[in-house]
Structure 1
Amino acid sequence: MTRRSVLRAGTSVGALLALATPAEATTATAAVVGPQRLSSAPATQATRHTVFQLVNRRTGKAIDVPGAATAAGTGLIQYTPSSAVNQQFLFASVGKGTDEVYTTHTATPLGWAVWAGTSDTGAKIVQWTPEHSTSQQWRMNQTSDGYTVVTCVRSGKVLGVRGDSTANGAAIEQQTPDGSAGQQWRLIEKGTRVAAWSPSMTAGGPAFTDQTIRMVVHSSVAGSGVRITLSNRYSDTPLDVGAVEVAVQATGGEAEPGTTRKVAFNDSRQITIPVGGQATSDVIPISVGAGGNLLVSLYVPNTTGTSTWHCDALDTSYVTSGNHAGEESAAAFATTRTSWYYLAGMDIVSPTAEGVVVAFGDSITDGYASSRGTYSRWPDFLGRRLGAEPGGQKLSVVDAGIGGNRVLTDVPNLWQGVSALKRFRSDALDQPGVKYVILFEGINDIGSGAGPNGAPLTAQHLIDGYLALIDEAHAVGVRIIGATLMPNEGNAYGGYNTPAAEAIRQSVNTWIRTEGAFDGVVDFDQATRDPARPAALNPAYDSGDRLHPNDAGMKAMADAVDLHLLRN
């Protein structure tokens, strides 16, 4: 029977992992191997979610996949250390102090394995299709002076360099432990864990019973070591998770053959997430490219009650009865929807990205009126601009827009979310690797006329809200960039198109441009206005409602962001 984990409300699995193993390390019994004393505890807790380069203590050379080969069976060698991804390996915990180690340069990760699964001394170490056998599993034991001995679970032999050679190209093999420097490795952390996709969630989604939901995740940056986050934050019943699987998308709801990976949470594949809680998975051995798509399939065996969701996905999700999470085919998924359910985030280890930009806003940021399934929101265009810069993409971009959302007050429609003041920390500041927030919100406060405590909205109310968000971001070292509110004269949305509303918009925009409270300004108003009618959206950018931009308008918005604002 599969063990089910129960998580406390508001406690992530990542936090539990960070708390659990140091105690295990404290009580671990040490074993003497040769001249070094080794702890039976893992070498570092970062092995649960980190990419490493391994450099041999004796030779100073790094473990390398020669020529960045992608064929299963390619033998590992040592080579002069570099920043190449074929010298970077993902460590994924499989429990009980054991890791599987995966390549990061291959589209589908390959795992370290002892050739033919033998226990013979001198057997070479190769990259191989993951089989999760003990010949592909390793224990990391740390020496008293900070090096690591890597031991094969099946054979009990350790990694070394053939013949203790110092030459480039010498094979990596398993050897009888002797405690020598040639069997010790320095683990050098590589890459940065960053949020790559993270829609903001709200209350009021539909209920599910004994169903599988398959959702598309579009990554803004390349990386490996994927983790996903499931959220039950806005639901009123605990969420029983029966299975989660992740695969590379082929097309639609079809998975690329051979890429499906089972997902665990603290080594358990079945969990219960309490009301108000969330769960972040263990590392999943899968890679994704910038602009690449993964499929996340979630099976919920029991009745959920109203779901935590993101209504306007502008992408297709697939639903079917029963557990079809592990199927590559989409044949069983006869129902399609246009929302994400419970799936609140994906983070990865990127070899190039050093941080995250959170685009925080309302329906325009959420991409309303942009082309479905083409990733044409302004944050998507911004991510592609950053990816085209020389030297590799330094920042990922995540979209924290919610249609209809307001800065100051909750929206009566549950699916439009709680106020920015309430959700800013969870949706922006808690993102892994966040460095910048672009705040573009306030037009729905103006259109609704809703000020705090039921008062009619004033420009100062909105400015006070911005100041509160600025202070919150600065308190945790995050830079926050303000965006001016776009023109919308002639729109058909009631209170948005009045002289009083326009006066507030103009006052707020003047304050954003001139006060200097933000760490920088993006002038979306100027970038999208009609030159002949500055209070109106440029017709070339109008989706038809005179408020929401089309794809060309979304691109113009992204192009208006001065990338120098994101380099400090």
Structure 2
Amino acid sequence: MLSRLALATAISLALASPAMAAGQPWIAAWYASPEPSATDKAFVENQTLRQIVRVSAGGTSVRVRLSNAYGTQPLHLDDIRLARRDTGSRIDAASDVAVTFNGRQGVTIAPGAYVLSDPLPVSVKPDSDLAVSVYVQARTALTTVHDIQRGVLYVATGKQTDAAELPAAGVDLGVGRAFPWLAEVEVSGSAARGTLFTFGDSITDGYGIDPDGGKTWPDILSRRLHDANIPLNVVNAGVSGNRLLHHGQWARFGEGGLSRFDRDVLAQTNASAVVILIGINDLGHAQGPGSDGYVSADDMIDGLAQLAARAHERGLRVYAATLTPFKGTVFKDYYSDEKEGRRQAINAWIRTSPVFDGVFDFEKAVEDPANPGQLLPAYDLGDHLHPNTAGDAVIGNAIPLSAFNWAKKLPK
């Protein structure tokens, strides 16, 4: 049994912990939904990986969440450091700190598990970049990744987590543009009082958008909210290729939206609202009635209604976005007139359904008025499915900020 002195010391240390400080809630500031790797042949060994992430909320301290969600063996990461980014791979050395777990450097993550770091005394500004550097000594499989880099990944040989700069960017680790393990960055001491999660597929995740420019539509919406002094930051929970009612056609398209919604939105700290844009892959990735993976418009409507009901049960505001045009897409067999009919039926329901707290008409924002069902060429990435940078800007600026005035009443 603890002595009175030891007990008093333990209590005082607990009360002094940044994680327990009154009035300092943790806010998600960056997120990358974990996905299973598409290969079992990708490894790193004696390498440092420096991932750049753009946080949507500022704060006075930081913590990170790492994932071994799809690993079948314990994942050992030998050394992890965090710093504010200067430019490129260069860090602000004065802000460089060791990322610790229960006071220790390095961590082993059980199969299927996550770990949350100790609070780190690093202040960050909204819409600024952090560098998270991870060193792995032993040959380690890349089993848990996120498919789309919304930042940039730098790679170097040996233990260089505290190096001022790393030389190599764009290195292919055998998993394409994916990056491993880093799932979330949270901040405390933030002016933001809640988080709006954007939940969807590649159009939300940022496919084809400059991965190091903060130009996805969630990035744009987050900056607009900040500039308008609405204390709500935006975090991206998109997964490229994702479907609502089925898991991905291949591993890196992730678990289905209904399956991952709890983990990626409802379980998040200080989640206050969600914008849902998902369903185009449910149409495109299956053929006609009777084919594997086919979903009717009613199936999709029921699935979207379930997301809304589950979010409302947790006290979140729920917004839905209409499915954007895809006629003429270059992806073979992805479009048909029958699928377009289902898209229109789903959008008609979204626009009139009482289950949402608001609706954002992304279709009308990027559709070609002269060619209904098609993206306006100026907003088309070139595949007639994904909006380009200009299209994302139009989407991000089309959302009325008045829909979020309630956030001004969130408790401080």
Call closer, same or farther: CA 1:563–1:330 in 2, change over 3 Å.
same
Is the 1:246–1:260 contact (alpha carbons within 8 Å) kept by the matching residues of 2? yes
Call closer, same or farther: CA 1:301–1:43 in 2, change over 3 Å.
same
Please list the CA deviations of residues 518-546 of structure 1 after superposition, one character each: whole Å capped at 9, or x if unmatched. Answer: 12111111111111122111222112111
Is the 2:61–2:119 contact (alpha carbons within 8 Å) kept by the matching residues of 1? yes
**Structure 1: where are the runs of 5+ without partners?**
1-26, 33-37, 53-188
Aligned-pair distance for 1:51?
8.3
Paired amino acid for 1:30: R
1:305 counterpart (131, 141, 147): 141
CA distance in 1, matches of 2:47, 2:304: 42
Is the 1:210–1:321 contact (alpha carbons within 8 Å) kept by the matching residues of 2? yes
CA distance in 2, matches of 1:216, 1:405: 24
Paired amino acid for 1:280: L
Aligned-pair distance for 1:320?
2.0
Aligned-pair distance for 1:312?
1.3
CA distance in 2, matches of 1:335, 1:532: 40
CA distance in 2, matches of 1:229, 1:510: 39
Is the 1:383–1:396 contact (alpha carbons within 8 Å) kept by the matching residues of 2? yes
Aligned-pair distance for 1:295?
0.5
CA distance in 1, matches of 2:256, 2:364: 26
1:424 counterpart (249, 261, 264): 261
Call closer, same or farther: CA 1:532–1:252 in 2, change over 3 Å.
same
CA distance in 2, matches of 1:388, 1:47: 33
Call closer, same or farther: CA 1:320–1:307 in 2, change over 3 Å.
farther
Call closer, same or farther: CA 1:219–1:314 in 2, change over 3 Å.
closer
Is the 2:56–2:233 contact (alpha carbons within 8 Å) kept by the matching residues of 1? yes
1:555 counterpart (384, 393, 400): 393
2:26 counterpart (182, 193, 196): 193
Q: How many aligned residue pairs are there?
A: 398
SS at match of 1:368: coil
2:152 counterpart (297, 316, 320): 316
Q: Which residue of 2 aligns with 1:517?
A: 355
Q: Which residue of 1 aligns with 2:311?
A: 473
Paired amino acid for 2:209: S
SS at match of 2:37: strand
Q: Which residue of 1 aligns with 2:234?
A: 397
Q: Which residue of 2 aligns with 1:173?
A: none
Call closer, same or farther: CA 1:414–1:46 in 2, change over 3 Å.
farther
Q: Which residue of 1 aligns with 2:410?
A: none
CA distance in 2, matches of 1:48, 1:217: 26
CA distance in 1, matches of 2:330, 2:207: 16
Call closer, same or farther: CA 1:340–1:353 in 2, change over 3 Å.
same
Residue 411 (str. 1) matches residue 385 (str. 2): no
Please list the CA deviations of residues 341-381 of structure 1 after superposition, one character each: whole Å capped at 9, or x if unmatched. Answer: 10000000143111001011101101112223111100000
Matches within 5 A, 1:157-168: none
Residue 48 (str. 1) matches residue 17 (str. 2): yes
Q: Which residue of 2 aligns with 1:436?
A: 273
Paired amino acid for 1:484: T
Please list the CA deviations of residues 365-417 of structure 1 after superposition, one character each: whole Å capped at 9, or x if unmatched. Answer: 01112223111100000011011013xx5011111111111001011311111
Matches within 5 A, 1:440-451: 440-449=277-286
Percent pairwise identity: 34
Aligned-pair distance for 1:191?
4.2
Paired amino acid for 1:431: Q
Is the 1:402–1:416 contact (alpha carbons within 8 Å) kept by the matching residues of 2? yes
Is the 2:53–2:150 contact (alpha carbons within 8 Å) kept by the matching residues of 1? no
Q: Which residue of 2 aligns with 1:3?
A: none
Matches within 5 A, 1:35-434: 39-43=8-12, 45=14, 47-50=16-19, 189-204=22-37, 206-331=42-167, 333=168, 336-337=171-172, 338-390=177-229, 393-434=230-271
Does 252-261 or 201-210 show the bigger shift?
201-210
Aligned-pair distance for 1:198?
0.3
Paired amino acid for 1:328: A
Call closer, same or farther: CA 1:505–1:213 in 2, change over 3 Å.
same
CA distance in 2, matches of 1:334, 1:343: 17
Please list the CA deviations of residues 142-188 of structure 1 after superposition, one character each: whole Å capped at 9, or x if unmatched. Answer: xxxxxxxxxxxxxxxxxxxxxxxxxxxxxxxxxxxxxxxxxxxxxxx
Paired amino acid for 1:537: L
Paired amino acid for 2:143: S
SS at match of 1:40: helix
CA RMSD of aligned residues (A): 2.2
Q: Which residue of 2 aligns with 1:30?
A: 4
SS at match of 1:432: coil
Greater helix fraction, Structure 1 or Structure 2: 2
Please list the CA deviations of residues 231-277 of structure 1 after superposition, one character each: whole Å capped at 9, or x if unmatched. Answer: 00012221001110001111111111322100101112122101100
Aligned-pair distance for 1:48?
3.1
CA distance in 2, matches of 1:473, 1:46: 33
Aligned-pair distance for 1:328?
1.7
SS at match of 1:329: coil
Paired amino acid for 2:224: R
Paired amino acid for 2:384: R
The structure with the larger Rg is 1
CA distance in 1, matches of 2:139, 2:249: 26
Does 214-223 or 538-547 show the bigger shift?
538-547
Q: Which residue of 2 aligns with 1:492?
A: 330
SS at match of 1:540: helix
Please list the CA deviations of residues 506-527 of structure 1 after superposition, one character each: whole Å capped at 9, or x if unmatched. Answer: 0000111112111211111111
CA distance in 1, matches of 2:67, 2:16: 24
Q: Which residue of 2 aligns with 1:457?
A: 295
SS at match of 1:190: coil
Matches within 5 A, 1:539-554: 539-554=377-392
Is the 1:316–1:339 contact (alpha carbons within 8 Å) kept by the matching residues of 2? no
Q: Which residue of 2 aligns with 1:115?
A: none
Call closer, same or farther: CA 1:47–1:253 in 2, change over 3 Å.
same
Is the 2:283–2:294 contact (alpha carbons within 8 Å) kept by the matching residues of 1? no
Is the 1:312–1:403 contact (alpha carbons within 8 Å) kept by the matching residues of 2? yes
CA distance in 2, matches of 1:320, 1:402: 27
Aligned-pair distance for 1:335?
6.3
